[in-house]
């Protein structure tokens, strides 16, 4: 079967096998042999001749081989069934586990005009609970005399969002004299470059002549830190859910909730009746995400949006923002036009620049281009601050931060650490002069401390450390920090509009320097949050466990406010001090309620539906059990009724028929039952309806019925076949047990957050252990050649695995003990990529040479397809690295080079995915007929000096050998894998290309090692068999250790190419391979190939290679189709392939079931759920589904390979 036991045959060898299969005593003539050879490559005319010959001599012509279609269709049926089970289970589970929060569509419709001097209503005489609640209604802006908002401090605002503006990019940097020697040093690329905020903030300090006109702080974002979710939070004041991150990439995400932009526009149109509906003076320029999120918030003729995903373009968006917004502020600006800017009636300018974010994505934070971009933003801010008047509020913010690689998306310290600066020439409102005591309170301490309590600080500290700005030289207390959603009620009240209905933020106290105004703002915010929570709890039970706590805090706040109202209405001269103390106490109580509401809501931001979760887990569990039953059936058959006889299936056709009977009919029936249940449920009263949709019930019924129909009848039989046959050597048993053991250990590590975080290192150890064990087992091989070859192959694979793991990125939790080696391009890495791209085809050709398979079409494919496309993939990233260099960027041919880069990438991908695959489909096998002279001293001759090497005429005897025969299946399939490798190569960055090359070589070595392990098994079985020549060879299957090695290798390649189970590690820049802008559907496809190609696609494609490597075809039999001899001559490749693919998918399903069950059940309320387990669950989900789809494609490729062998050698499959 494998090459070690089947050397390359001659034509005479094949003819001899065919002759042995004919009827006893019948001999083949030499003309028949030559005709067979000719028949393999005959044209239409020769085929006609062949037909005539067959009619005249039916006993001399072998029957036409049976097509391999039926057994491979059965394999596809089984894989389709597994895919259906996975989809159904995940559909139910995900809908229960990753739901978005309940989105309330309420709008704050309070339109009371703000009052400059508002007084609280008189409190009740007593402070009983019922009296306080009754009095609180008088404070309600809807039911009583409460306020909706305060008088606006500014009528205009300029909002500038610098995408990925991290706090330390604008924070004040200490002077050199104040720094600790040999300690912290500022980053030369981004620290101290944008100085406008810190300089103006210093000018507004309490000791300056203009106090209270600037606020600079750390601006803490909620994960996921993607632009779409952050814009929602910055305008609505709501909390995002994890799964919404996907909406950032695909045009989804329109905001339907109440937001301050809509409130401000409504106020403008309501107060200024002379304006038409499309001229509210609201202007936008920048990131086109705003056009998706707020399609109607701005004036239609004052919106300039730019592509936000073209990370290659560092300047277009920023230049557009400046050229479109500055004319509104600068009367003499050259781009100012009368019909747009001349009326000077604008009320809000919003600019969203992208250059900083794009520099980070392309080059990382510490890069000369970042310094250039920082200086551009400095000039822009200087122009803005110099041009605005006293009635304009300037807000600068980052929607999120970035890590040192320039990535964001998760909740790492650098990703959530955005910057905020708010400034006004006239300050943020006058300080109340009615009380000198209150003025001294404000002057003596920070307003943040004024409303702070130990409880508030425990819930959400007002100051936070920030690692890029450590202590020393910065203060030990940390940096002033506010949550991003606090900007929503703050801006709303400063602009004189109601707080959006769904907002959970509180006001920033520094922007309300009057203690009276601060309490009024806190009260307005608290009443809005209370209204929202009351409405939310009426529609969802998420906050049920916190209701009593929040009600208690609310009652305490009302009581404190009542005491303040009592002191306010008291007329005694001693009431001033009591009123000041009561006022501060009321402000603290409202602030505590606001913060507690935010923190409790944040803790339940994902709503879990346990019914769907449990049903999904049941379907996934039964799906795993079904896969195990099918795996057992592919090896030992499934019992059924075949030809009126109850027995186990003996081939793939019978196995497919039994699976069809057991699953398809019950699935249809179950789906009908689910549909009926859905219809009946809709007819019942609302309280009695099932909490599932029609699609949920149909999928559930169909999947469960199908799984039960398969598992129940065959479970006992499958269990009875667990174990090893008597002729299985101990090494083979150890490989099986070791493979399953590694699978269990891999699944178990998700029970620990530390092991999950360090999964890349753990899996490296597991794969190393597996290869080392296979190396040791090779030492006990039965032949001396194997004893040397197997350990060498295993050790070489072990070294390559270690090399593949070196280029990696570290997730935040691994710092500072881990180092990142795969983040950015460098000349050395690119040069190494070039060298490997050139050498890799040569290394693969050495692997084919070992089986004499580097013949025929193989050299052409390796030298003229594989090597050029690999070099093009390396060249693409070399040009990408060179384009931003100063010498190239300043040249006149830069754009030509960039266009050439994109064009080459498109041609490369098109050639691989179209021409490459089509060429492989029609390409011949890697075979070569070679005429050789038989020497007299042949090694295999028992009489070296005899005349057996001489013909009758005394001339040397000639023979024709078929080179590549023993590995004709594996060599042909390897050519297709070369196309897959080249496709992944160009979408992988240079450091990752090195890891990909090492991983691919390990995949080939794994097939070679597995082939040798199967040789050992065959030799052992032959030695223990009672017959010297068994009539029917036993089927040999791929071991679990070999499949476990492939799964682990996929994970090593995933981590080694610069990925982690985090959103921040997604390499979005590959979306532009071949394109200058986001192009659907190609950009998402490229990102998927980059993110999951190494983890799911490549490993699944390697599985058939392990099955077919050195698997020699069997020539056609001349017996009748139904004869035992004909059946015995057929290859069991389809069932062996199915067993291997099922084993691979079982591993994936075990991982998926482990991480999903642990996430949903054990760690559902764990603090790190959305940081660690949910991203890992999402990775396992995509990996399992994509692996199953790829397994289908791999089966189709194997089918085509079998077709080629079937046509050439007449090999039949079952």
The tens digit of pLDDT for each residue in 351-409 reads 999 999 999 988 889 999 999 999 999 999 999 999 999 999 999 999 999 988 888 87
Contact 709, 663 (CB under 8 A): yes
- Per-residue DSSP letters for 656-725? HHHHHHHHHHHHHHHHHHHHHHHHHHHHS-GGGS-SS-HHHHHHHHHHHHHHHHHHHHHHHHHHHT-S--
pLDDT at 275: 77
Write 323-326 long-range contacts (CB < 8 A, 24+): 324/283, 324/285, 324/351, 325/158, 325/283, 325/285, 325/349, 325/351, 325/384, 326/383, 326/384, 326/387
For residue 819, name the pLDDT band (cuts at 50, 70, 90): low
Q: Report the C-alpha gap between 828 and 820 in whole angstroms.
A: 16
CB atoms within 10 A of CB 1095: 25
- Residue 222: what pLDDT? 85
Which pLDDT does position 1080 carry in this prediction? 86
Is residue 33 a contact partner of residue 16, using CB atoms and an 8 Å limit? no
Digit-coded pLDDT (tens) for 130-150? 889 889 998 988 888 889 999
Residues 6 or more apart in contact with residue 386 via CB below 8 angstroms: none
Torsion of Cα atoms, 64 then 70 then 73 then 74, to 10°: -140
Percent of the chain with pLDDT over 90: 52
For range 828-845, the mean pLDDT: 94
Mean pLDDT throughout 219-224?
Answer: 86
Least reliable range by pLDDT among 647-661, 675-689, 694-708, 953-967: 953-967
For residues 870, 873, 878, 883, the Cα torsion angle rounded to the nearest 10 degrees is: 160
Average pLDDT over residues 920-947: 68
Give the pairing type, strands 479-483 and 463-464: antiparallel
* Between 662 and 940, residue with greater pLDDT: 662
Residue with tokens 């002077």: 175
Is 912 in contact with 983 (CB distance < 8 Å)? Answer: yes
* Most confidently modeled range among 335-344, 376-385, 912-921, 1117-1126: 376-385
Is the pLDDT reported for residue 209 higher than 80?
no
Average pLDDT over residues 810-819: 73
Rounded-to-integer distance, Cα 893 and Cα 904, Å = 16
Over range 547-554, report the average pLDDT: 92
Section 540-558 average pLDDT: 86
Instruction: Return the bridge partners of 162, or none.
Output: 353
Checking if the pLDDT of 646 tops 90, the result is no
Query: Could you tell me the pTM of the whole model?
Result: 0.81
38 versus 857: which is more confidently predicted? 857
Q: Worst-scoring range by mean pLDDT, 265-279, 325-339, 850-864, 1171-1185?
A: 265-279
Q: What pLDDT does residue 941 have?
A: 44
Quickly state the pLDDT bin for 463 (edges 50, 70, 90): very high
Q: What is the mean pLDDT of the chain?
A: 85
> What's the Cα-to-Cα distance from 1033 to each of 78, 1090, 1136, rounded to whole Å?
25, 43, 14
Which pLDDT score, from 0 to 100, does residue 1129 have?
78
In the DSSP assignment, the letter for residue 1139 is H
Q: How far apart are CA 687 and CA 696, in angstroms?
A: 19
Does the pLDDT of residue 12 top 90, yes or no?
no
Measured distance between the N- and C-terminal CA atoms of the chain, rounded to whole angstroms = 16
Q: How far is CA 816 from CA 467, 531, 810, 811, in A?
A: 12, 45, 9, 10
Confidence at residue 24, expressed as pLDDT on a 0 to 100 scale: 39
Cross-strand partners of 304: 285
**Phi (first) and psi of residue 1213, to 5 degrees:** -125, 150
- Residue 1095 has what pLDDT? 96
User: What residue has token string 């006609």?
Assistant: 48
Q: How far apart are CA 1129 and CA 349, in angstroms?
A: 80
3-class SS of residue 966: coil
Residues 6 or more apart whose CB falls under 8 angstroms from that of 985 comprise 837, 869, 870, 873, 874, 993, 996
Per-residue pLDDT at 206: 62
C-beta neighbour count of 37 within 10 angstroms = 16
Tell me how far apart the alpha carbons of residues 806 and 799 are, in angstroms, rounded to a whole number.
11
According to the model, what pLDDT value does residue 559 have? 93
Location of structure tokens 């099932």: 690
CA proximity to 908, closest of 841, 984, 832:
984
pLDDT digits (tens, 9 = 90+) for 231-276: 888 999 988 765 544 444 444 567 888 999 999 999 999 888 767 8
Residue 608 neighbours by CB under 8 Å, 6+ apart: 96, 97, 99, 1160, 1164
Query: Whose CA is closest to 529, among 507, 508, 548?
Result: 507
Which sequence spans correspond to the domains of the chain? 729-823+989-1027+1036-1065
% of the chain surpassing 70 pLDDT: 86
Query: What is the DSSP code (8-state) at residue 1070?
Result: G
What is the band of 285 on the pLDDT scale with cuts at 50, 70, 90? very high
Per-residue pLDDT at 704:
96
**pLDDT-based confidence at residue 1004 (cuts at 50, 70, 90):** very high
Q: For residues 1057 and 80, what is the distance between their CA atoms, to the nearest angstrom? A: 30
**Angle (CA) 991 995 999, round 5°:** 165
pLDDT of residue 1028: 46
Nearest to 484 by CA among 501, 503, 465, 505: 505
Q: Is the peptide bond before 472 cis (omega within 30 degrees of 0)?
A: yes
Q: Of the given ranges (622-636, 639-653, 971-985, 1143-1157), which has the lowest mean pLDDT?
A: 639-653
pLDDT recorded at residue 1137: 96
Task: Out of 31-45, 111-125, 288-302, 647-661, pick the least confident.
Answer: 31-45
The predicted model gives 1039-1059 an average pLDDT of 95
Structural Rg of the chain based on CA atoms: 37
Q: What local confidence, expressed as pLDDT, does residue 805 receive?
A: 92
Tell me which residue of 1001, 1030, 1000, 1004 sits closest to 1018, measured CA to CA. Answer: 1030
Looking at residue 882, what is its pLDDT?
87
pLDDT at 856 over 70: yes
pLDDT for 26: 38
What are the Cα distances from residue 498, in Å, to 108, 236, 524, 533, 592? 7, 12, 9, 17, 21
Is pLDDT of 496 > 50?
yes
690, 677 in Cβ contact below 8 A?
yes
Residues 429-456: what's their mean pLDDT?
62
pLDDT of residue 102: 65
């Amino acid at each position: 079967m494998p090459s070690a036991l089947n050397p390359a045959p001659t034509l005479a060898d094949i003819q001899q096998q065919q002759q042995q299969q004919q009827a006893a005593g019948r001999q083949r003539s030499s003309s028949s042999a030559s005709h067979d050879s000719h028949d393999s490559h005959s044209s239409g005319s020769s085929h006609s001749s062949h037909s005539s010959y067959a009619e005249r001599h039916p006993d001399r012509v072998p029957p036409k081989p049976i097509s391999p279609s039926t057994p491979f269709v059965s394999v596809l049926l089984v894989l389709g069934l597994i895919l259906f089970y996975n989809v159904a289970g995940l559909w139910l589970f995900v809908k229960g586990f990753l739901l978005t929060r309940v989105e309330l569509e309420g709008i704050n419709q309070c339109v009371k005009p703000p009052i400059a001097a508002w007084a609280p209503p008189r409190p009740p005489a007593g402070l009983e609970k019922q009296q306080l609640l009754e009095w609180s209604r008088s404070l309600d802006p809807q039911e009583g005399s409460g306020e909706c908002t305060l008088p606006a401090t500014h009528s205009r605002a300029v909002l500038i969002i610098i995408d990925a503006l991290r706090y330390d990019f604008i924070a004040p940097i200490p002077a050199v004299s104040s720094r600790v020697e040999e300690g912290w040093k500022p980053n030369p690329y981004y620290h101290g470059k944008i100085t406008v905020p810190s300089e103006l903030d210093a000018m507004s300090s309490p000791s300056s002549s203009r106090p209270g006109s600037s606020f600079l702080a750390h601006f803490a974002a909620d994960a996921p830190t993607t632009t779409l979710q952050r814009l929602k939070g910055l305008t609505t004041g709501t909390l995002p859910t994890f799964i919404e991150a996907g909406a950032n990439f695909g045009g989804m995400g329109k905001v339907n909730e109440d937001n301050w932009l809509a409130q401000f526009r409504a106020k403008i149109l309501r107060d200024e009746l002379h304006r038409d509906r499309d001229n509210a003076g609201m202007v936008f320029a920048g990131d086109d995400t705003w056009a998706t999120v707020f399609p109607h918030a701005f004036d239609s003729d004052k919106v300039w949006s730019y592509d936000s995903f073209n990370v290659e373009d560092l300047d277009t968006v920023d230049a557009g923002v400046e050229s479109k917004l500055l004319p509104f502020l600068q009367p003499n600006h050259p781009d100012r036009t009368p019909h747009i800017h001349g009326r000077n009636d604008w009320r809000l300018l919003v600019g969203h620049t992208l250059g900083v974010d794009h520099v980070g994505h392309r080059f990382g934070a510490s890069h000369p281009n970042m310094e250039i971009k920082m200086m551009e933003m400095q000039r822009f801010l200087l122009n803005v601050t110099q041009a605005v008047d006293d009635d304009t509020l300037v807000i600068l913010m980052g929607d999120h931060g970035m890590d040192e690689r320039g990535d964001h998306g998760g909740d790492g310290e650098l990703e959530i650490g955005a910057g905020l600066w708010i400034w006004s020439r006239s300050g943020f409102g006058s300080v109340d002069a009615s009380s000198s005591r209150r003025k001294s309170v404000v002057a003596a301490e920070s307003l943040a401390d004024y409303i702070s309590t130990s409880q508030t600080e425990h819930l959400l500290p007002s100051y936070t450390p920030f690692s890029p700005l450590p202590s020393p030289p910065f203060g030990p207390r940390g940096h002033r920090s506010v949550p991003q959603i606090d900007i929503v009620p703050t801006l709303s009240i400063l602009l004189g509009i109601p707080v959006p209905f769904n907002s959970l933020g509180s006001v920033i106290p520094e922007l309300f320097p009057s203690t009276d105004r601060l309490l009024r703002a806190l009260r307005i915010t608290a009443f809005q949050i209370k209204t929202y929570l009351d409405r939310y709890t009426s529609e969802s039970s998420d906050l049920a466990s916190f209701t009593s706590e929040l009600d208690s805090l609310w009652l305490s706040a009302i009581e404190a406010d009542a005491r303040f109202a009592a002191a306010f209405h008291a007329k005694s001269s001693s009431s001033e001090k009591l009123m000041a103390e009561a006022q501060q106490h009321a402000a603290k109580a409202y602030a505590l309620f606001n913060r507690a509401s935010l923190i409790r809501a944040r803790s339940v931001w994902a709503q879990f539906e346990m019914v769907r979760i449990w049903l999904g887990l049941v379907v996934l569990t039964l799906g795993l059990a079904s896969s195990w039953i099918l795996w057992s059936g592919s090896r030992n058959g499934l019992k059924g009724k075949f030809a009126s006889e109850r027995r186990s299936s003996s081939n793939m056709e019978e196995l497919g028929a039994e699976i069809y009977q057991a699953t398809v009919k019950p699935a249809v029936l179950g789906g009908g039952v689910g549909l009926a249940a859905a219809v009946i449920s809709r007819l019942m009263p609302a309280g009695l309806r099932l909490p599932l949709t029609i699609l949920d019930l149909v999928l559930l019924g169909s999947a469960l019925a199908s799984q039960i129909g398969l598992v129940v009848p065959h479970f006992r039989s499958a269990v009875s076949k667990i174990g090893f046959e008597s002729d299985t050597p101990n090494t083979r048993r150890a490989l099986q047990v070791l493979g399953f053991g590694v699978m269990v250990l891999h699944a178990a590590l998700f029970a620990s957050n530390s092991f999950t975080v360090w999964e890349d290192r753990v899996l490296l150890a597991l794969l190393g252990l597996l290869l080392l064990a296979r190396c040791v087992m090779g030492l006990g091989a039965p032949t001396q050649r194997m004893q040397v070859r197997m350990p060498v192959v295993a050790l070489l694979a072990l070294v390559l695995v270690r090399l593949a793991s070196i280029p990696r990125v570290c997730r935040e939790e691994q710092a500072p003990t881990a180092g990142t080696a795969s983040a950015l391009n460098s000349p050395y890495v690119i040069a190494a990529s070039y060298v490997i791209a050139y050498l890799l085809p040569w290394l693969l050709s050495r692997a084919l040479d070992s089986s004499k398979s580097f013949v025929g079409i193989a050299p052409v494919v390796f030298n003229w397809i594989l090597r050029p496309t690999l070099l093009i993939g390396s060249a693409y990233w070399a040009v990408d690295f060179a384009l931003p260099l100063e010498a190239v960027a300043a040249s006149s041919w830069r754009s030509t080079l960039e266009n050439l880069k994109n064009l080459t990438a498109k041609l490369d991908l098109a050639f691989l995915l179209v021409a490459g695959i089509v060429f492989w489909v029609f390409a011949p096998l890697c075979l070569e007929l070679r005429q050789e002279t038989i020497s007299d001293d042949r090694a295999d001759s028992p009489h070296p000096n005899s005349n057996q090497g001489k013909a009758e005429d005394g001339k040397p005897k000639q023979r024709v050998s078929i080179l590549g025969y023993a590995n004709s299946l594996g060599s042909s399939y390897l050519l297709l894998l070369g196309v897959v490798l080249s496709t992944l190569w160009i979408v992988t960055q240079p450091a990752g290309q090195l890891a990909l090359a090492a991983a691919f070589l390990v995949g080939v070595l794994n097939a070679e090692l597995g082939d040798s392990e199967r040789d050992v098994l065959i030799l052992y079985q032959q030695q223990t068999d009672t017959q010297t020549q068994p009539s029917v060879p036993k089927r040999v299957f791929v071991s679990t250790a070999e499949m476990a090695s492939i799964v682990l290798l996929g994970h090593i390649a995933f981590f080694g190419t610069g990925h982690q189970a985090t959103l921040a590690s997604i390499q979005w820049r590959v979306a532009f391979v071949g394109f200058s802008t986001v192009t659907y559907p190609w950009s998402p496809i490229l990102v998927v190939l980059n993110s999951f190609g190494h983890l799911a696609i490549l490993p699944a494609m390697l599985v058939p290679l392990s099955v077919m490597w050195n698997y020699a075809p069997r020539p056609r039999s001349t017996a009748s189709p139904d004869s035992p001899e004909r059946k015995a001559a057929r290859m069991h490749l389809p069932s062996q392939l199915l067993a291997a693919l099922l084993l691979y998918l079982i591993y994936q399903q075990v991982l998926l079931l482990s991480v999903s069950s642990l996430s949903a059940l054990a760690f559902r309320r764990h603090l790190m759920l959305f940081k660690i387990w949910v991203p890992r669950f999402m990775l396992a989900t995509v990996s399992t589904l994509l692996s199953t789809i790829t397994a289908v494609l791999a089966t189709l490729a194997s089918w085509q390979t079998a077709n080629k062998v079937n046509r050439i050698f007449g090999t039949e499959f079952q």
